[in-house]
Amino acid sequence: MDAEAVAEVERLAAASACGWAEGGSDGVEWRAPEPRHARTDLATWLKTGERPACEPVFADRVLPRFDALAVDLGELMEGVGSRLEVQLAHFSGGKQARYRRHTDATADPRPESRERKVTCILYCNSTWVEASEGCLRLTRADCENATGLKARPEGARGTAGSTMDIPPIGGRLLCFLSGAMVHEVLPTKADRIAVTAWVA
Ligand SMILES: O=C(O)CCC(=O)C(=O)O
Ligand SMILES: [Fe+2]
């Protein structure tokens, strides 16, 4: 995604979510997802024709690319690509928002399962620096337990339980298997914006 589009998403999301948190409403249906002890972000669905998905940056640039990505994933992976949910999330730096360890789906490797299969996250933080914090921490789960598939032999890429921190740099797209990857958003010192698509 080009820098201009990323900055526009960031600008719209920050203005709308901060306004909502202060009691205002611009027609965007923000929600504070539960449970709050586990996650402290604000989120809104990006649904075609509704606010804020009807803004040109989402309608013309971001959402068509996620649609195309879902089609590509469907061609690459059996049983993937029939359903797409897209969310805009805002983690407040002032409150050091976070999202504790979780997976996005119950592991079910069967192609016919209705579970979310792939998580695709587009980060929209154009001024992210190390001091902003709020990395996404990935934990390499025990693949055999998490997916029902046979685990790759240890050694090649670290061992089960080892972690990797991904900075939420503007324009970065991250994809992982929704049911297999344990992840958490570490407390953020700067406002942190992401568009997340779950492909089922
Ligand atoms: O924004 C991120 O880096 C991840 C958010 C997340 O884990 C989720 O919404 O399920
Ligand atoms: Fe997640």
List the one residue out of 142, 129, 30 whose CA is nearest residue 87. 30
pLDDT in tens, 143-197: 545 555 444 444 445 566 789 999 999 999 999 999 989 999 999 999 999 999 9
Q: CA-CA distance, 132 to 191, in Å (whole number)?
A: 8
**Nearest-atom index, ligand 1, CA of 184:** 7
What is the count of structural domains for the chain? 1
The complex's ipTM works out to 0.99
Top mutation candidate among 9, 99, 118, 124 for ligand 1, by most atoms within 8 Å of CB: 99
Name the residue type at position 172: R
Strand 99-102, strand 163-166: pairing: unpaired
Q: How far is the CA of 57 from the centre of ligand 2 (A)?
A: 24
The pair of three-digit structure tokens given for residue 41, joined into one six-digit string: 């972000």
Here the CATH number for the domain that contains residue 74 is 2.60.120.620
pTM for the structure as a whole: 0.92
pLDDT in tens, 51-108: 999 999 999 999 999 999 999 999 999 889 889 999 999 999 999 999 999 999 998 8
Domain that holds residue 134: 3-199
